[in-house]
Amino acid sequence: MHDTRRTSAARCASAGLAAATLVLATACSSSGDGGAAGQDTDTYTWWDPYPQHTEGSDWAERVNDCGEQAGVQIERTASDTTDLTNRALLAAQEGNSPDVILLDNPAVPTLADTGMLASVGEIGLEVGEVDENLLAAGVVDDETYGIPIGANTLAIYYNAEILDAAGVDPESVTDWQSLTDALARVTENGDKGITFAATGTEEGSFQFLPWFWGSGADLRDLDSPEAVEALELWDDWLAQGYAPESVINNSQNTTWEEFSTGEFGFAVNGTWQVDNAAEADFDTGVIQIPAQGGGTAPAPTGGEFIVTPLQSETDRYDVTRQIVECMTTPAGFVETATTFAYYVPPTAAGQEELLQKQPELDPWVQAVRDAKGRTSDNLGTDYPKISEPMWTAVQNALSGSATPAEALKKAQADAEAATGR
C-alpha cells in the first residue's frame, strides 16, 4: 500500500484512481487496435510506477535481464502511479500502448473496462498457482487481466516494551473487545494506545477496510449495522482517548512517525515498514488485525499487477509472455520481494521460498494469505466511487460532524448515486 522510500504517498492505495476514472470519459476503448504498427521487434516497451528506481538500480537491471532472457531489449519508462494510469489510458486511445505495464492493482479494472488489456489467456499465461484472493483484484467479468508481482497489506505493529509494562500479552488480542481492553490497560499505564491513518484519501479507506470487512460488512452496503459497528469502534477509541485526534489527518507515513516516537502501544501499518520496525529504538512485534468476533480480519491488498495491453501486431505476444513469465516464476516473485523489501510473493511456492530466506516475515505472509482485493467481489470500476464516500464518512464521524450511522447513511446514498446501483 505504501513505502516511506517511494515517491508517492500511497502508491498501492492511490487516490489517483478517481482521476483515472474521470479519464475514461475521453480515453475510450482501443477495441483491440492498441500498439503502434511497425514496432521494433528487438525492443519491447515497459512502463512501471517506480521512478525512484533509476537506470542502474537493482530493479532496472532486473527488468533488463528479463528482456535479455527473452532475446530483446527493454525500453523502460517509469512514472508515478496516477500519471502512469492516465498515460496508459491515453496511449490506448492513440493506439501506441506499451507491451507491458506494472499497474497499481485497483487500477486494473479501470484499464480492463476500456478494452485495452489482453487477458492472461490471450497471452498464453498460466495463473493457476497464484493465490485466488490476490488474483481476484485483476478479475473483471470472470476474465483475468494480469498477474500480481507481489502483495503487501496491513497488520498491527506493537511496542513490546509498552505492552510488557502494561501487562498485555499481544497474543491475547484476538478480537475487537480484547484489543480495546489492551488499549485501556496501555493508556491506564500512562502510555498512548493506538494510532492509524484515517485521512480523507484512499489511504483512509485502505486502513478502515480491515475493520469494515472484519465486522462482516459489504462494500455495496455502506450503512449496514455491521458497517456502523466498525465505524463506532474507531469513534469510541477517540472518545475514550485510546487513539489520538491526529488520526483524522494521519497518512500512513505520519502514523509511523507517531509510532516511532516510542509512545504508542500499537500502530496499524503495512509490510513496507518491516525494515523501519527492525531499526526502531524499541522492541517491536506484529499481530494480525482481529475480526470483530475473533480470527483475522481481511485486510486490503496493495501491490502492482503486471498487465499486457492489446497490440495490433499479435506476434509480439510470444516474447511478451516470456518477459512476464520471467517476472512471475517462484524465484522471480522472491527476487521482487527481496529487491523491494515490502512485497510477499503471490504463490505458495514463492512464499515458502521467501520464508526459507526470511522466516521473520511469517506474520506478513499470513496476513497476505488472509487479505482481500479492494476491487474483489466484482466491484471493478465501482470501487473508487464507493471508497470516496466511505473515507468521507470516516472523516465526518471522527470529526464529530455526524454520528457513525448518519455518516454512513449519507455515504451509501452518495455511492448509489455514483455507481447507478
How many Cα atoms occupy the beta-carbon half-sphere of 23 within 13 Å? Answer: 24
30 close to 218: Cβ distance less than 8 angstroms: no
Model confidence, pTM: 0.85
Distance, CA of 350 to CA of 362 (rounded, Å): 13
397 Cβ neighbours under 8 A, 6+ residues apart: 231, 234, 235, 403, 404, 407, 408
Exposed e or buried b for every residue in 126-144, given b needs 16+ CB within 10 A? ebebbbebbbbbbbbeeeb
154-299+379-419 matches 11-152+302-369 in CATH topology: yes
Task: Quote the pLDDT of residue 82.
Answer: 82
Longest dimension (CA), the chain: 70
Q: Outline where DSSP puts E strands in 283-322.
A: 284-287, 304-309
Q: What is the mean pLDDT of each run of 10 residues along the chain (421 residues)?
A: 36 36 31 47 93 92 95 95 90 94 93 94 94 93 94 97 98 98 98 97 96 98 98 98 97 96 98 94 97 97 95 93 94 89 91 93 94 90 95 98 98 96 74
Residue 162 is which amino acid? I
157 close to 280: Cβ distance less than 8 angstroms: no
404 close to 418: Cβ distance less than 8 angstroms: no
Task: Quote the pLDDT of residue 26.
Answer: 26
Task: Quote the pLDDT of residue 344.
Answer: 95
Task: Quote the pLDDT of residue 378.
Answer: 83
Locate the domains of the chain by residue range.
Answer: 11-152+302-369, 154-299+379-419
Sheet with 154-159: list strands edge to edge: 192-195, 264-270, 154-159, 284-287
Three-state SS for 15? coil
Multiple choice CATH, 154-299+379-419, 3.40.50.300, 3.40.50.620, 3.40.190.10, 2.30.30.240 = 3.40.190.10
Exposed e or buried b for every residue in 326-344, given b needs 16+ CB within 10 A? bbbebebbbbbbebbebbb
Task: Quote the pLDDT of residue 33.
Answer: 43
C-alpha dist (Å) from residue 262 to 47, 65, 161, 181, 282: 40, 42, 9, 20, 7
Which CATH superfamily hosts domain 11-152+302-369?
Periplasmic binding protein-like II (3.40.190.10)
